[in-house]
Structure 1
Amino acid sequence: MNRIKSMMVLSLMLGISFTEAEASKLTFKIANPDDGAKTVLSFTETGEKKEVEIDATGNGTIEINDFTPQYVLLQYGRARRTLYLDPVQDLTISFDGGAMWKAINFDGAAAAVNTYLNTGKIKNLTFQDTKLKEDAFINKADSLFAANNEGLNAANLPAAFTDKEKIRLKYFTYGFFPMHPMYYVYQTKDSTHVASNTFYNKLQSLITIDSNLLTLPEYKEFLPNAIASMSNQGVTEKPENTTEQFVNYIDKNIKDEKVAEYLVNLFVYGNISSRGLDGSDALISMFNKHVKDAKMLDKFNTLCTKWEKLKAGTPSPVFSCPDINGKTVSLADLKGKFVYIDVWATWCGPCRGELPHLKTLEEKYADKDIYFVSLSCDKNKKAWENMVKKDEMKGIQLHLGVESPFMDAYLINGIPRFILLDRDGKIISANMTRPSDPKTAEKFNELLGL
C-alpha cells in the first residue's frame, strides 16, 4: 500500500496521469440456456478467442479491453452471429438458447450497428441462384449489392463503421459469384456451358488484392474461390491437379506477398491434406517460395511428416475387423493380391454414388488378382448390416467403425476415400482415384498386365 501511495505522489510531482484502459462490457441474457453450449467470441483482426461464462440462469458478462473496433463472430453452440464491437461501447445481447439463429436483440451504445448486422435484411447470392443463366445471375448479384448499400446508407450509422461495412458487404453479397461456372453446370446438367468474358471481367472487377482485408472472413472466403475461377479462364482441358493451376496463377499474378502467402498456404495445405505427398513436388516447391510465416511452416511440416509414412512403397497401416457374418478379416489375410479399399458409410451420399461404379469394377475383375474391400465407418452397425444384405453388396464387406486407428493412420478426414495396395500390402496410392474415374481401371489393367 505504501508503495502505491509513493507512486501516486511521484506521478503528481512529475505531472504524469494514469488512466484505466477503455473496456467494452458485454452482457448476455439467454432465455432457455443450453448447459452444453459454449459462448465464444472470435475477433477477426487479431484471431483472439474469448469464452464467456454463462451461469445456470443464462446470464453472463465479460469486459474486453485493448482492441480496436472490429467485427467479432459470436458462437453459441452451433449458432453463429456477426457482431461489431467497439472498446468504448457497451452492449447487451439477448436471445433464446435454442433459437439464436432465428432472433437476437441488442441494447446499449453498440446496439444500432449490431441490430443492423442481424436484422436479416442484408441479402446475398445463394447456391440456388447459381442455376440462373449467366446474365440473369450477374444482374441479380448487382441488384442485391445495390439494395444492401441502400440499406446501409439508410441506417445512418457512424462513418467509420459504414466505410468498413461497404467493403464487407461486397464480399458477403458476391460470395457465391466465383462458383457460378461450376455450380451452373452441376445444377442444370449443361456440360457445354463455358463462362463468358463478361463473367470473367465482372469477377476481375470484384477482386481486390489487399492484405489488410485478410481480417474479413467474407474476403478470405471469397478470394480463394475467385482466384480458382479466374485461373480457369481460357483453359480448355481440366488439368490432372487443379491445385497446381491455382498456385501457378497466384505465382504469376498476385504481387502482395501476404495475400499470396495466404492463398498458397490454403491451396497447398488443403491439397496435401487430402492427396498426400506423391506427385506434389511442384506444389511443395511453390509453398516454400511463398510461405514464410513460422506457424504456417510448422503446421505444414507436421502434415508432411505424417504423409511421409503413406508414400508409395511404404507398408500400409493394418486393419482387423468383422465381416457381415462376424468373421474377423485382417489386411494380412489378403496378401498375395492387389487390394482396392473403399472407406465409406451408408449415410454418405458421394459414397453411395460410387457404388454402381464399384460394382462394375468388381464384376470386370472378378477372376483377377485383386480384392475389393469396403470398410464401413458407420457408427450404426445395424444400418451397415441392413444395407449390405438388402443391396446384396459384393466384395469383402467389413465394419471398421468410427474411431479407427486405420482411419487415423491414413489421415482420413472425409469420405469416400480409396486406397490401393500391392500384393505385399505396400501402398501404391494412399489416395487412389474413385471407381467412376476411368483412370482407376487403367491402373488395374497396368498392374495386372491386361
Structure 2
Amino acid sequence: MKNSLIKLNTVAILALLVMLGSACAPKPTSFKIIKDGEGVYLPFVQVGGERIKVEFDDNGEFNLDVSKLEMPFIVRYHAAGSVFNAYVSKGSTQVINISKEEAVHTGDNKEYAEYLNNRQLINPELLKTDSESEAIEKVKSAVQQNIKGVKVANLDDEFTIDQEITFTYIGALRHLNWVKTLPNKKELKDTDASLQFINEMLSQKGPMNATFKSFASAALEFLVWRDKDDTYHLLDFMEDVINLTINTVQRDGAKDIMMNYYVERHIKYKGVNGMKPIVELARNNMSDEKEIEKLLAVYAKWEHLVAGKPVYNFTCNTIDGEKMSLSDFKGKYVFIDLWATWCGPCVAEIPYIQEFEKEFHGQDIVFVSISSDEKVDKWKKKVLDDQLKGVQLHDGGDKEFAKFMNVTGIPRFILIGKNGEMLDAKCTKPSNASTRPMLIELLKN
C-alpha cells in the first residue's frame, strides 16, 4: 500500500512538473496571411525598410518567418486597395484573411492594428510655407499631437515609445524635404535654424527604429551633398558621410548600422575599388561585434574584385559553337556586358555598346557580350537579326564567372585590363555620360 502511494505521488509530481513546464514554455509567435478567393495580388509585405516576398502555398497561405526578425515589429501589407498594418510581438498569433474586398484581422494585437490603421501621420501639405521658423514650429506641433494620440490609445510602453520615435522622425523627414525645396539650400549655414534642427534630430539619444534610419540616411546625405558640385567624387562622399555619422548619430546602435548601410550600398552598386580605407574607418569606430562582422563580411565577399586582382578565366561559346576564353583577349582591354534577350534594360544598352564598338574599333579594346539566355536559339536569333558586332558569346549554362563576379542581376558591365586583371567590377553602363570619356582616357595610356 505504501509503495502504491509513493508511486501515485511520484506520478502526480511528474504530471505537475510537465504542466508547469508547459505553462512556462514561451508561446510561439506566428503571423499568417490567408488568400480568400481569386484576384488577390500581394507580392510582398514590408517590415521596417525591408520588403519580404510573399509566396502562398497550395492552400493559399503565407506564413511569415518571424524567427529571422527582431521583435516586436510592424508588418505593412496592401489589400483591397488599401494599406494595412499589424503589430507582431513575442507570443502573438495573428491571421489576416484578405480578399479583393477586405482584409480581416483575427487573433492577438487587434487593438494595435486598429490604432496603426487609423492613426493620422503628418501631412506634407502642412509645410506649405516660405517661413523657416513656421515650418519648424508646424512640424514640432504636429509631432506632439501625434505623440499625444498614441499615449491616449493606452497601448504597451514599448509600442508607445516606438511610435513616438516614428512620429518624431516622420516630422523630421517632412522638414528635411521642405529644406530640399529651398532655392538657396546650398548657401545654408550651420547656424541656420533648418540645419540646426536637422542636426539636432540626428544627434538625439535613445532607441532607434526604421523611421529614424530613413531620416538619418536622407539627412546625412543631404548635409554632405548639398554644397558639392559634379567634381565631387563618390569615395570622398563615402569618407565624409562616414565621418559625419561618427560625429553626429547618437541613437542606440544607429551609428554602426548607418555606417554598414552606406558601405554595403556603395559596394553593391559602385563596387569595391578604393573602399578599403573607408571600411577601416568604419571598423575602427564601431562597437557592435555583429555589425563589425557584417561589415567585414561584405568587404570580404568583394575583396577579390579589387582593381589589380586576377579575373577568373571564363570560357564561353561563340555563335558557331567554338570556345573562347578571357585569356584569348590578352593584350587588350576587355569591356564585358552580361546580358540576356529577355532583359529589357540589357537590350536598351545594346545601341550604346554598338556605338562603342564602332568608335573604338581597331584600338586596344574588345567589347564582349556574354548572354545567359536559357534558350540559346533566342540569343542566336537576336545576334543574327540585329547583326550585333563585337564578340558575342553565350555562357553555355556555366555560371562560374557570374558567381566569381557576385552577379545578382543584369545588365552588368565589367572592365578588365590587358593582362586579365580587374579594373572595374561595377563599370558604369554604356549609356552613362561618364563611360565614353572614361574609355577614351583609358585608351590614351
CA change 1:347–1:260 in 2 (3 A) is farther
Question: Is the contact made by 1:420 and 1:430 (CA closer than 8 Å) also made in structure 2?
Answer: yes
2:228 maps to 235
1:15 maps to none
> 1:227, 1:383 → 2: CA distance?
46
Report the residue type matching 2:335 in the other structure.
Answer: Y
1:14 maps to none
> 1:332, 1:442 → 2: CA distance?
26
Greater Cα shift, 255-264 or 195-204: 195-204
Question: Is the contact made by 1:379 and 1:402 (CA closer than 8 Å) also made in structure 2?
Answer: yes
Report the residue type matching 1:251 in the other structure.
Answer: I
1:335 maps to 330
Q: What are the within-5 Å matches in structure 2 for residues 78-157 of structure 1? A: 82-85=85-88, 92-96=94-98, 103-107=102-106, 110-118=109-117, 146=142, 153=149, 157=153
What SS does structure 1 have at the residue aligned with 2:311? coil
> 2:60, 2:226 → 1: CA distance?
56
> 1:225, 1:74 → 2: CA distance?
22
Q: How far has the Cα of 1:339 moved from its partner?
A: 0.8
Question: Is the contact made by 1:91 and 1:111 (CA closer than 8 Å) also made in structure 2?
Answer: no
1:290 maps to 285
> 1:443, 1:369 → 2: CA distance?
14
Q: What are the within-5 Å matches in structure 2 for residues 301-316 of structure 1? A: 301-316=296-311
Q: How far has the Cα of 1:328 moved from its partner?
A: 4.0
Percent identity of paired positions between Structure 1 and Structure 2? 24
Q: What are the within-5 Å matches in structure 2 for residues 384-403 of structure 1? A: 384-385=379-380, 387-389=382-384, 391-400=386-395
> 2:103, 2:28 → 1: CA distance?
19
Q: How far has the Cα of 1:212 moved from its partner?
A: 1.1
What SS does structure 1 have at the residue aligned with 2:225? coil
What SS does structure 2 have at the residue aligned with 1:368? coil
Question: Is the contact made by 1:124 and 1:173 (CA closer than 8 Å) also made in structure 2?
Answer: no
TM-score by length of 1: 0.68
What SS does structure 2 have at the residue aligned with 1:408? helix
> 2:154, 2:113 → 1: CA distance?
12
1:71 maps to 73
CA change 1:390–1:157 in 2 (3 A) is farther
Instruction: Determine whether 1:365 maps to 2:360.
Output: yes
CA change 1:157–1:309 in 2 (3 A) is same
> 1:172, 1:368 → 2: CA distance?
54
Question: Is the contact made by 1:340 and 1:419 (CA closer than 8 Å) also made in structure 2?
Answer: yes
Give structure 1 stretches of 5+ with no counterpart. Answer: 11-17, 185-189
Greater Cα shift, 358-367 or 404-413: 358-367
Report the residue type matching 2:218 in the other structure.
Answer: N
> 2:431, 2:179 → 1: CA distance?
22
2:4 maps to none
Q: What are the within-5 Å matches in structure 2 for residues 418-437 of structure 1? A: 418-436=413-431
CA change 1:110–1:338 in 2 (3 A) is closer
Question: Is the contact made by 1:91 and 1:106 (CA closer than 8 Å) also made in structure 2?
Answer: no
Instruction: Determine whether 1:267 maps to 2:266.
Output: no
> 2:150, 2:86 → 1: CA distance?
19
Q: How far has the Cα of 1:120 moved from its partner?
A: 9.2
Question: Is the contact made by 1:152 and 1:162 (CA closer than 8 Å) also made in structure 2?
Answer: no
Q: How far has the Cα of 1:404 moved from its partner?
A: 1.8
2:5 maps to none
> 2:421, 2:356 → 1: CA distance?
21
Question: Is the contact made by 2:185 and 2:226 (CA closer than 8 Å) also made in structure 1?
Answer: no
1:187 maps to none
Report the residue type matching 1:262 in the other structure.
Answer: I
CA change 1:291–1:68 in 2 (3 A) is closer
CA change 1:58–1:275 in 2 (3 A) is closer
Question: Is the contact made by 2:74 and 2:86 (CA closer than 8 Å) also made in structure 1?
Answer: yes
1:218 maps to 211
Q: How far has the Cα of 1:287 moved from its partner?
A: 1.9
CA change 1:32–1:272 in 2 (3 A) is same
> 1:91, 1:331 → 2: CA distance?
55
1:409 maps to 404
Question: Is the contact made by 2:204 and 2:249 (CA closer than 8 Å) also made in structure 1?
Answer: yes
Q: What are the within-5 Å matches in structure 2 for residues 338-353 of structure 1? A: 338-346=333-341, 351=346
What SS does structure 1 have at the residue aligned with 2:328? helix
1:30 maps to 34
Q: How far has the Cα of 1:344 moved from its partner?
A: 3.3
What SS does structure 2 have at the residue aligned with 1:317? coil
Query: What do the CA deviations read for 1:10-46 (whole angstroms, capped 9, x no partner)?
Result: 9xxxxxxx97478588685734489xx99x99998xx
Question: Is the contact made by 1:106 and 1:115 (CA closer than 8 Å) also made in structure 2?
Answer: no
Q: How far has the Cα of 1:279 moved from its partner?
A: 1.7
RMSD: 5.5
Query: What do the CA deviations read for 1:231-288 (whole angstroms, capped 9, x no partner)?
Result: 2233234324232231122233335573221111221233334444432232022122
> 1:134, 1:381 → 2: CA distance?
59
Q: How far has the Cα of 1:299 moved from its partner?
A: 3.4
Greater Cα shift, 363-372 or 391-400: 391-400
CA change 1:33–1:403 in 2 (3 A) is farther
Instruction: Determine whether 1:158 maps to 2:154.
Output: yes
Question: Is the contact made by 1:134 and 1:199 (CA closer than 8 Å) also made in structure 2?
Answer: no
> 1:359, 1:345 → 2: CA distance?
16
Query: What do the CA deviations read for 1:51-107 (whole angstroms, capped 9, x no partner)?
Result: 9x9994859999x9xx9983343789xx9964224569x6653313x76xx842224
> 1:230, 1:330 → 2: CA distance?
47
What SS does structure 2 have at the residue aligned with 1:262? helix
> 1:21, 1:334 → 2: CA distance?
64
Question: Is the contact made by 1:273 and 1:303 (CA closer than 8 Å) also made in structure 2?
Answer: no
Report the residue type matching 2:363 in the other structure.
Answer: K
Report the residue type matching 2:96 in the other structure.
Answer: S
Query: What do the CA deviations read for 1:284-318 (whole angstroms, capped 9, x no partner)?
Result: 22122122333333333334334332233332113
What SS does structure 2 have at the residue aligned with 1:309? helix
Question: Is the contact made by 2:256 and 2:291 (CA closer than 8 Å) also made in structure 1?
Answer: no
What SS does structure 2 have at the residue aligned with 1:212? coil
